[in-house]
Each structure stands twice: as structure tokens, then as C-alpha cells.
């Protein structure tokens, strides 16, 4: 497969990327099998075949969010907010107050993925 010809750096990078992708798929498959053994009654979240689609969907969302962040015109600094004047005394009269209480429950997927640290298992948690 590999001849004695010298490999270019880009070829080595592509080969390493391909090897990393294969390793990621193998680890994902192994973890899915372990999860099935530990939690046989748990709902299936997809198969190994679904992984490229999930990765593509997440990459599309990241790209969309990055473009929106770079080109949005919703930039308001705290200095601008403190200088803002109320329009026609709208802040002077308060008709009624409403109290909103947020109740936190359970561990969300965000907590599962991001609050457990950024070690080697972070990539697996992020992709699944």
C-alpha cells in the first residue's frame, strides 16, 4: 500500500485524520455495546451508521452559529446600556410586578457533556 516514495506532510496529515476517524468510530461502537450491556432496557439513541449524519448536523450548527456571531449587529456594550434614557418615562410607572421562579431539576445533557471536564472522554460525550 505504501511505497518507498517519500510521503508529503499533507499526505501524513490526511492519513492521521483518517486513522483518528476510524479510531473514533471503533470507540463509539465499543461504548454503544457497553451501554447496551449495562442498560439493556434503555432506549437506543441511534446506531453507528447514524454517526456521520450527527457529526455533519453538529458541524452545520457550529458553522451557522459562528457566522451569526461574527456578522450579527446585536452588539450592545454595558456602557451603552447605562447611558440609555427611558422613553417617555416608561420606567417611572410600574403597574404591577411579576415574580418568576426558575426551578432546576435533574442533570441536563449540557451538564453531562460540559460539566464533567475536558478530558479524553469529552469528545465522545460531545459527539453522542
Residue 74 has pLDDT above 90, yes or no: no
Mean of the pLDDT values across residues 66-73?
A: 88
Judge whether 9 lies within some domain.
yes
Kindly state whether residue 21 falls inside one of the protein's structural domains: yes
**Is 91:68 a contact under the CB 8 Å cutoff?**
no
Q: Which residue has the cell 455533519?
A: 56
* Domain membership flag for residue 61: yes
pLDDT digits (tens, 9 = 90+) for 87-128: 666 666 677 888 998 877 666 676 766 666 777 777 777 777
Q: Give the CB-side neighbour count of residue 44, counting CA atoms within 13 A.
A: 10
Higher pLDDT, 20 or 7: 20
Give φ, ψ of 127 to 5 degrees. -75, -25
Higher pLDDT residue, 4 or 96? 96
The mean pLDDT of 72-97, rounded to a whole number, is 74
Find the domain containing 34 and state its range: 1-69+119-128
- Cβ-count burial 60-98 (b if 16+ within 10 Å, e if not): eeeeeeeeeeeeeeeeeeeeeeeeeeeeeeeeeeeeeee
> pLDDT digits over 27-63, tens only?
888 888 888 888 877 766 667 778 888 899 999 999 9
d(CA 66, CA 60): 10
Number of domains, the chain: 1
Give the residue carrying C-alpha cell 450527527. Answer: 54
pLDDT for residue 48: 73
pLDDT band for position 82 (cuts 50, 70, 90): confident
Contacts 24+ apart (CB under 8 A), 39-47: 45/128
Q: Is residue 19 part of a domain?
A: yes
Asked whether residue 83 is domain-assigned, the answer is: no
Amino acid at each position: 500500500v505504501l511505497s518507498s516514495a517519500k510521503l508529503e506532510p499533507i499526505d501524513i496529515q490526511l492519513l492521521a485524520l483518517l486513522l483518528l476517524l476510524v479510531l473514533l468510530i471503533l470507540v463509539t461502537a465499543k461504548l454503544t455495546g457497553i451501554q447496551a450491556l449495562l442498560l439493556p432496557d434503555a432506549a437506543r439513541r441511534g446506531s453507528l451508521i447514524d454517526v456521520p449524519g450527527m457529526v455533519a448536523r453538529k458541524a452545520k450548527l457550529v458553522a451557522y452559529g459562528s457566522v451569526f456571531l461574527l456578522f450579527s449587529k446585536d452588539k450592545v456594550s454595558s456602557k451603552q446600556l447605562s447611558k440609555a434614557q427611558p422613553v417617555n418615562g416608561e420606567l417611572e410607572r410600574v403597574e404591577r410586578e411579576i415574580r418568576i421562579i426558575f426551578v432546576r431539576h435533574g442533570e441536563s445533557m449540557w451538564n453531562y457533556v460540559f460539566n464533567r471536564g475536558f478530558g479524553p472522554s469529552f469528545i465522545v460525550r460531545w459527539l453522542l
